[in-house]
Amino acid sequence: MTGTGEEKRMDDLLRYGRQKTVVVTGADRGLGYELVRQYLERGDRVFAGKYRTNWHLLEGLKERWPETLDIVSLDVRSQESVRRAAELILQKTDAVDVLINNAGVWLDHDTGTILEDRIDYEAILEQIDVNALGALRVTQALIGAVLNSFDQLVVNVSSEAASMTECAKDSQFGYCMSKAALNMASCIVLNGIRKRGGAVINLHPGWMQSVIGESAKPDAPYCEPARPGEVKFYTTPEVTARGFLKILDEPERFSGHMPGFVNYRGDRMNW
C-alpha cells in the first residue's frame, strides 16, 4: 500500500498486529539513519547505533520519538563497545525482530592493483574489521534476542562489490573482500540458526548518494539503471530504505537454503 506513514503503520498493524523491535548499526547518517527514521515513522521500536560523536541527526529523531527510539553508543570494531551496547539493549528488551548490520566503511585510498607496489594492507584490514567482523560481533552479541523474537531476522548490508561472478574491478581489495567475507558470514550464521527458525538476508543498497557513495553523481537520474538493462541503480538513502523495509517485511520471499542476496528493489543478486 502507498500513502502516509500513518496509513502504512495501520496497514502493518492490521497485517502483523504488533510493533517490531529493530536494531540498526552505523545509524548516524546515510542509509542507517534513514532506516531508523522510517521504522520510527511507522511505529516500530528502534535501537540506533551511534558511532560519530560530532553528528547529531539521531538526537533530532529522539526529540520526535522519545518513547520508541534508544540511541546506543556503538563502535563495531570494538568488542567492548559491542558488549556494552548489547547489554544496554538487553536491559530494555529480550527480543530483537530485525538486526540490521549497516555500519560500513569504504576507504577510497584502497586503490592499489596487483601490478603496483602500493596495496594498502592496513586499509584492507580496517575494512574487513568494520564491514565483516563488525557485523559478526554484533550478531553474536544479540543472536539470543533475535532468536527470541517473532521475525528472527539478521540483515547484513552487503554490496554488489561482494559478487564473485560480477567482479570487474582490478583494485579496492579491502571493500570487495570485506563484503564477500560478510556474505560468507551470512551463510555460516544461517547454518547456525536455521533450525531455531532464524533467517539471514544480504541487501545491496544500490549506488547510493551518501558518504560512501559520494562518487554517485549528484545529478544522476536516481532510481534509473546506470545503463539500460543493468541491475545497478543510482539511488538515495530514502529510496533504498523504503525498498529495504518492504523486503524485510517479507524476507521469506528471498531466503531458502542460502541467505537471500538482493538489491533494494528486490532483484536477486549474483553471488
Length of the chain: 271
210 counts as binding ligand NAP under rule CB under 6 A: yes
Q: Residue 37 in contact with residue 62, Cβ under 8 Å?
A: no
Tell me whether residue 147 or residue 223 sits nearer to ligand NAP (CB atom): 223
71 lies in the site for ligand NAP, by CB under 6 A:
no
Residue 75 engages ligand NAP in binding (rule: CB under 6 A): yes
Mask of contacts with ligand NAP, 85-124, x by CB under 6 A?
Answer: -----------------xxxxx------------------
- Stretch touching ligand NAP by CB under 6 A, among 35-43, 70-78, 84-92, 110-118: 70-78
Residue 77 C-beta: closest distance to ligand NAP, Å: 4
Give the footprint of ligand NAP on residues 38-67 (CB under 6 A): 49, 51-52
Give min distance, CB of 245 to ligand NAP, in A. Answer: 15
Interacting span for ligand NAP (CB under 6 A) from 11-19, 73-81, 142-150, 246-254: 73-81
**How many positions of this chain bind ligand NAP (CB under 6 A)?**
33
Only segment of 13-21, 203-211, 219-227, 255-263 that touches ligand NAP (CB under 6 A): 203-211
What residues pair up with 31 in beta bridges, in sequence order? Answer: none
The packing angle between helices 134-147 and 173-193, to 10°, is 20
Interaction between residue 203 and ligand NAP (CB under 6 A): no
Among 23, 130, 133, 145, binds ligand NAP (CB under 6 A): 130
Using the rule CB under 6 A, which residue among 46, 133, 208, 245 binds ligand NAP? 208
Q: Are 141 and 149 a contacting pair, CB within 8 Å?
A: no
Query: In the complex with ligand NAP, which residue's Cβ is closer, 10 or 220?
Result: 220
Report yes or no: 269 and 256 within 8 Å, Cβ to Cβ. no
Pairing assessment for the beta strands 234-235 and 260-263 based on DSSP bridges: unpaired
In the block, residue with C-alpha cell 543510482: 234
List interacting residues with ligand NAP (CB under 6 A). Answer: 25-26, 28-32, 49, 51-52, 74-77, 102-106, 130, 134, 157, 159, 204-205, 207-208, 210-213, 216, 237
